[in-house]
């Protein structure tokens, strides 16, 4: 059974539990077969109402801030592997409280916090983010290895010996990538960081491993992870985000009005690209809409789709449809669970989509609705 969209209010992000479980099963299989640890990066999706489901498979988290680390502790019941480019003295004690591992972005960040780390009552494993200076990611916005990057230390900027407290290495240089991209990255790392790898207890290979995509070669991934682990005698950790939520749900929206200018018809919606699907404009990419033609068709009704904010560029398109669109029609933007809810804004005070989970037996569970108080609460 699939989501019964007639039951879903508009606007609403709706997660399909069955599809999520399918992804989780695959991720857990990769983890178990490769003999590594996979943890979920909250930056892609922190929908904590789904944590009880995720916990049945992968009960571990990667946090990138004090709040994500606290959410892991409180709602997932686990201490996080925490990395941030900028841990502050104000926050470090609380961050340590919620973390089992902490990765520093630079040696100076480590120096700043090493006393707090030593004074912490329980042992926390410290790591350093390295810059492999190799990435296949073409969009600079998502390329952590672009020249001048602030993320991680290049081999040429490392001391010959790392401080003895640094037990692990961390890199993140992939984005919606394949196992073959990872393989090339690992070759670059072995070339540049061999002496550090020899001493490392663990290596965190970051995110961007899109193992739940249909064409992803998971057997190859398992093979290269096992080989790397055996060669360097090191514990391997992956912290993907997107892979957990890949194609697990949608953003349900509806048409409010149709306007025309210079022969271009725009269907204005009750959602906004900039506020509710920001990656469409940032990456940019054109999202798929259920039942619509992804490319405009000459003989079909064709529309640009416009957001409900007053940002001039808050539109995308064109898409074609079998029928003319009209006010009240439902549109389903596909694959809108990762990097959406975590990145939304209330720009213009636009009403925020609700959040729901669909279960094939229990039906629709609306876990969160947003209103004026949520908007007001973010202002002062």
Note the residues at the interface with ligand PLP (CB under 6 A). Answer: 41, 43-44, 62, 83, 172, 175, 206-208, 239-243
- To the nearest whole angstrom, how small is the minimum distance from the Cβ of residue 374 to ligand PLP? 25
Nearer to ligand PLP by C-beta: 241 or 306?
A: 241
Q: Which residue number, 241 or 287, has a Cβ lying nearer to ligand PLP?
A: 241
Nearest distance in Å: CB 214, ligand PLP? 17
- In the complex with ligand PLP, the residue whose CB is nearer, 114 or 343, is 343
Cis amide linkage into residue 11, ω under 30° from 0? yes
Shortest gap between Cβ of 68 and ligand PLP (angstroms)?
Answer: 11
Q: Which residue has the tokens 């009704």?
A: 301
* Nearer Cβ to ligand PLP (212/274): 212
Cα–Cα distance, 349 to 138 (Å, whole number): 34
Residues 365, 357 contacting (CB under 8 angstroms): yes
Cβ closest to ligand PLP, residue 142 vs residue 375: 142
- Indicate the SS3 state at residue 345: coil
Question: Residues 6 or more apart from 14 whose CB is under 8 A from it?
Answer: 3, 5, 8, 249, 250, 251, 252, 356, 357, 358, 364
Is-contact 332 267, C-beta < 8 A? no
Distance in Å, CB of 325 to ligand PLP, minimum = 33
Q: By C-beta, is 207 or 351 nearer to ligand PLP?
A: 207
Work out how close the CB of 46 gets to ligand PLP at its nearest, in angstroms, rounded to a whole number.
12
- When CB distances to ligand PLP are compared, the closest residue is 207
Q: How many Cβ atoms sit within 10 Å of the Cβ of residue 85?
A: 13
- Tell me the C-alpha to C-alpha distance, in Å, between residue 224 and each of 215, 227, 261: 17, 5, 54
Smallest distance, Å, CB 44 to ligand PLP? 4
Question: What is the biggest distance separating any 2 CA atoms in the chain, rounded to whole angstroms?
Answer: 70
């Amino acid at each position: 059974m699939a989501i019964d969209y007639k039951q879903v209010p508009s606007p609403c992000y709706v997660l399909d539990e069955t599809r999520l479980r399918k992804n989780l099963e695959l991720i857990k299989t990769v983890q178990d077969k490769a003999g590594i640890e996979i943890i979920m990066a909250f930056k892609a999706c922190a929908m904590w109402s789904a944590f009880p489901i995720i916990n049945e498979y992968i009960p571990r988290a990667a946090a990138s801030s004090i709040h994500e680390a606290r959410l892991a502790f409180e709602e997932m019941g686990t201490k996080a592997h925490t990395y941030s480019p900028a841990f502050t003295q104000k926050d470090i004690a609380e961050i340590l409280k919620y973390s089992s591992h902490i990765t520093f972005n630079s040696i100076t960040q480590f120096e700043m916090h090493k006393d707090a780390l030593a004074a912490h009552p329980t042992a926390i494993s410290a790591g350093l983010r390295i810059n492999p200076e190799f990435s296949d990611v073409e969009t600079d916005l998502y390329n952590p290895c672009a020249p001048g990057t602030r993320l991680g230390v290049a081999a040429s900027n490392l001391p010959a010996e790392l401080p003895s407290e640094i037990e692990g290495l961390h890199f993140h240089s992939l984005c919606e990538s394949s196992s073959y991209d990872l393989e090339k990255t690992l070759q670059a790392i072995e070339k540049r960081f061999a002496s550090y790898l020899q001493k490392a207890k663990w290596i965190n290979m970051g995110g961007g491993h899109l193992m739940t995509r249909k064409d992803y070669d998971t057997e190859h991934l398992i093979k290269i992870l096992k080989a790397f682990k055996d060669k360097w005698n090191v514990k391997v950790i992956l912290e993907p985000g997107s892979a957990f939520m890949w194609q697990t749900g949608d953003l349900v929206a509806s048409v409010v009005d149709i306007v025309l200018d210079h022969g271009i018809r725009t269907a204005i919606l009750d959602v906004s690209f900039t506020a509710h699907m920001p990656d469409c404009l940032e990456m940019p990419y054109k999202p798929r809409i259920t039942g619509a033609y992804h490319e405009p068709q000459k003989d079909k009704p064709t529309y640009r789709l416009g957001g409900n904010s007053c940002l001039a560029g808050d539109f995308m398109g064109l898409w074609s449809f079998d029928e003319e669109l009209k006010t009240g029609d439902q549109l389903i933007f596909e694959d809108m669970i990762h990097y959406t809810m975590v990145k939304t804004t209330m720009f213009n005070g636009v009403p925020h989509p609700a959040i729901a989970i669909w279960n094939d037996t229990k039906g629709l569970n609306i876990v969160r609705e947003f209103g004026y108080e949520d908007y007001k609460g973010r202002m002062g």
